[in-house]
């Protein structure tokens, strides 16, 4: 199997004026097969390497803007008393929260 640039192939076929409508109707399969045979091949390994490198640079850029998350169970505002295991109340928002929840107000409790 050979990967081709289908967009480039379509442009070549659509810009071709050397065939009349009659020729296209009669010989479309042969004409298209010829164009496919002549279509440029995609170097998939090169594209994958470029995409991989580009993907890592995107991921790195996203992580530069990341902040550490404080889970409710580790937060100074978390009160578990009177609630089932894995659940408690936030003393900042007074919402009932789960241990693994988090918010932008979280501050890590001293150990």
Q: Is residue 73 part of a domain?
A: yes
User: How many whole angstroms separate alpha carbon 73 and alpha carbon 7?
Assistant: 53
Model pTM above 0.75:
no
Final residue in a domain of this structure, among 64, 81, 102: 64
If one counts the domains in the chain, the total is: 2
- Do residues 60 and 94 share a domain? no
SS3 content of the chain, % helix, strand, coil (to 5): 45, 15, 40
Q: Which domain holds residue 24?
A: 6-64
- Do residues 110 and 75 share a domain? yes
- Do residues 57 and 84 share a domain? no
Give the domain CATH number at 78.
2.20.70
- Do residues 93 and 51 share a domain? no
pLDDT (tens digit per residue) in 16-46:
656 666 666 666 677 777 777 777 676 667 7
pLDDT at 59 over 60: no
Tokens linked to 22: 């009659």
């Amino acid at each position: 199997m050979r990967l081709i640039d289908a967009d480039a192939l379509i442009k070549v076929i659509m810009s071709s004026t050397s065939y009349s409508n009659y020729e296209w109707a009669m010989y479309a399969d042969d004409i298209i097969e010829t164009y496919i045979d002549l279509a440029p091949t995609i170097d998939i390994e090169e594209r994958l390497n470029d995409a991989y490198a580009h993907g890592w640079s995107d991921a790195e850029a996203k992580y530069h803007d990341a902040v550490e998350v404080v889970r409710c169970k580790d937060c100074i505002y978390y009160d578990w008393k009177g609630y089932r295991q894995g659940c408690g109340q936030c003393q900042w928002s007074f919402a009932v929260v789960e241990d693994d929840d988090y918010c932008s107000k979280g501050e890590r409790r001293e150990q």
